[in-house]
A and B are shown apart, each in its own frame.
Chain A
Amino acid sequence: MRELIESGLLVVVAILSAAFLIIGQKNSGGMTKKQKVMLWRILIATVLLLVLQILGAAAFDRLGAAGRWVRLAIHVVDYLIIGYDILKKAFKGICNRRVFDENFLMAVATLGALALAVYENGEYLEVIAVMLFYQIGEWFQSYAVGRSRRNISDLMDIRPDYANVEKDGKLEKVDPDEVEIGSVIIVQPGEKIPIDGVVVEGASTLNTAALTGESLPRDAKIGDEVISGCINMTGVLKIQTSKEFGESTVSKILDLVENASSRKSKSEDFISRFARVYTPAVCYAALALAVLPPLVQMLGMGMDPAWETWIYRALTFLVASCPCALVISIPLSFFAGIGGASRAGVLVKGSNYLETLSQVKTVVFDKTGTLTLGVFEVNGIHHSEINGEKLVEYAALAESASSHPISKSLQRAYGKEIDRSRVRDIQEISGNGVIAKVDGVEVAAGNDKLMDRLGVEYISCHSVGTIIHIAINGKYAGHIVIADIVKPHSKEAIQALKSAGVRKTVMLTGDAKKVADQVAAFLGLDEVYSELLPADKVEKVEELLKEKPEHEKLAFVGDGINDAPVLRRADIGIAMGAMGSDAAIEAADVVLMNDDPLQISKAIKISRKCLGIVYQNIIFSITVKLACLVFVAFGVANMWLAVFADVGVMILAILNAIRALRVQNL
């Protein structure tokens, strides 16, 4: 019965390895040459072993006295086919004084078992099978890791392969690296924009999903700046490049994500340290297992020492102990987590930041550009004596010469082309406002002071924001309220953070207290500090850092343009709306590719999921490993089970790690 199971297993292995060989032949990218060679070795060794198994010891006995040695020789050949590289590596390891690695473990375990088998002229099957299954495990590990590595990289790959340049009326595909600044490139529908630039001809819709994780398309027309990595969906665009390929958004992002896993987290450090202690410790434990119990039995209890049993157990112990599952699954989980996050439009600069992000309990926001759009808009028109639109028109025309953000927002609210010929005698009174003749009518637009100066009676406003009073021909005509508007998702984002377990939300702003308090109350923030200079913000963050317990982390969220010092000072700096802002990518640890503050809670959830998987893998692999070791030490498990435990744990850990890639539904 047992022989039947063993033979069946070998048949399965042979079929599987043949199948993988065929797969490997088909798509050349799937396997490295090394893996294919190994697969051949596995196939040959398995078939040979199967033949030997079917012949059995009896077939060799017929050869007479030499039969035993012929049988040994064939088995040794099979053993060498499957395991020669392990022996070589183990030998080299000893020469280089690196004794206790897994090659050494396998070499000692199998050679030891072989010696026992020769001594007894017994079962060679197990010796070869152990080596065979170890190699299958190694092969599978290398294949699975390679595959998942490539899959994740492919997902993140937004690298454009070529740029179209027009030469003599024909399109020519060139390497994006070779395109100089200022050249005109052509992007056809369905193609990626390879280099940052400005549209000079054509109009189209762009899909920015690869960069922002957001599927809402953007429009691009003549004069618009476009960012590399977007996919052109509808029309042909001619783009004048404004950067070199290496400096373009897409290259920067790729660089960032690829280097992300080089910054190691504490969990990864823990594992490498653990592995360094673990391997030698297991070796000594195995040695003790081989020597101590027989000695105790022989000397202490006067029983038979049973050397073979204990040596066999010690060797099995060595096989079961390989730390691969642990060592591989942790960085793979982080890599998958970073990959998944980047698909959702969240760039994390390193595994360590992912780890910190999962412990965030305090989130500090900058106001302008983070929670609000940072664009001033006309919020209301009050007490207007004339048509509201007319009032805005007068104000916009009067302010047409000014480049102040307020004037700009008035001009935007007016919405039509400004006809400068309608405006004469513009008088700018610094700190007060403007007086000008529009269509021959005298228009005064400005603050309370201007009205006082002109002796016009005005009505003060209860709304929060900047108030522009308008007087026409010396008579009060009403006022316009201009305010920074809150982003549509800001309120939701704060709530999402609370439900994600963030304990404190704080807003810092350079704005007036009245404005800040109103926004904070509307959004439901816990604390607000207003009228701060950039240096004060750093100080405030430092205060907040001191207040909180050590293990709870503080995140600062800013737009990255003037917040660089604060982004650096916080435990973790999150920059918003980084499309095109180099400063943000530089200073922040986490970059949110679109302006949506909801992404912050998403980023935190992604990091928690990833870290959860990391801990699951650590605990699961260590527990199973230790349990196996105990079983083996007490003789419950044999070498077959040990190898299966090793490979099985590793495969489960890898599959679990891949889960970190799925973040869509968080």
Chain B
Amino acid sequence: MKKTYKIEVDCANCANLMEDAARKTAGVASATVNFMTQKMIVEFDDGQDAAQVMNDVVKACKKVEPDCEIFL
């Protein structure tokens, strides 16, 4: 399952860090942050609850970049 989320992040390097953090979150098969369109595309592992996984993703991203927003 693939979902796209709107995000708000100011710098490109931070976007890279968020991408890394999201990828390492359990339940995420792959994640891409598109800084230019301010979007995060997350592909979830099979049988995972997207909302729950996204909670962890937000936490992980806030850790690396406190300024970022992910609109769920």
A residues sitting closer than 8 Å to B (CB atoms) are 32, 34, 88-89, 92, 96, 98, 102, 138, 141-142, 145, 149, 152-153, 258-259, 261-262, 264, 272, 275, 323-324, 327-328, 331-332, 335
Contacts and interface: CB of A to CB of B under 8 A. Distances in A.
A327 B12 contact: yes
B13 interface: yes
Interface in B1-41: 8, 10-13, 16, 32, 34-39, 41
Contacts, number: 58
A261 B34 contact: yes
Contacts of B8: 32
A102 B13 CA distance: 10
Contact of B11 (A32, A92, A258, A328): A328
Nearest to A261: B36
B63 A98 contact: yes
Contact of B32 (A138, A262, A332): A262
A276 to B, nearest CB: 8
Contacts of B36: 149, 152, 261, 331-332, 335
User: Which of B32, B34, B41 is the most central at the interface, judged by chain A CB atoms within 10 Å of its CB?
Assistant: B34
Contacts of A262: 32, 34, 39, 41
Interface residues of B, number: 18
B49 interface: no
Contact of B10 (A142, A259, A332): A142
A262 B30 CA distance: 12
Given A324-B11, A324-B12, 19 more contacts: A138-B11, A142-B11, A145-B12, A152-B36, A258-B34, A258-B37, A261-B34, A261-B35, A261-B36, A262-B32, A262-B41, A275-B13, A275-B16, A324-B13, A327-B11, A331-B12, A331-B35, A331-B36, A332-B12
Contacts of A152: 36
A259 B32 CA distance: 10
Nearest to B9: A142
B37 A92 contact: no
A96 B39 contact: no
Contacts of B38: 149
A298 to B, nearest CB: 38
Contacts of A331: 12, 35-36
Contacts of B35: 261, 331
Contacts of B34: 258-259, 261-262
A370 to B, nearest CB: 32
A331 B9 CA distance: 14
A152 B35 CA distance: 13
Contacts of A32: 8
Contacts of A98: 63-64
Given A258-B39, A261-B37, A328 B66 contact: no
A35 to B, nearest CB: 9
Contacts of B10: 34, 138, 141-142
A275 B15 CA distance: 12
Given A323-B13, A327-B16, A96 B64 contact: yes
Contacts of A328: 11-13
A343 to B, nearest CB: 16
The 5 closest A-B pairs by CB, nearest first: A335-B36, A327-B13, A328-B12, A262-B34, A142-B10
Contacts of B11: 138, 141-142, 324, 327-328
A89 B13 contact: no
A149 B13 CA distance: 16
A221 to B, nearest CB: 38
A10 B16 CA distance: 34
B14 to A, nearest CB: 9
A210 B35 CA distance: 24
Nearest to A97: B63
Contacts of B37: 149, 153, 258, 261
5 contacts: A34-B10, A98-B64, A152-B36, A262-B39, A272-B16
Nearest to A257: B37
B16 A89 contact: no
B23 to A, nearest CB: 12
A276 B13 CA distance: 9
A262 B7 CA distance: 14
Contacts of B64: 96, 98
B67 A89 contact: yes
Given A261-B34, A262-B32, A92 B13 contact: no
Contacts of A324: 11-13
A327 B19 CA distance: 14
Contacts of A332: 12, 36
A377 B12 CA distance: 55
A259 B37 CA distance: 8
Nearest to A335: B36
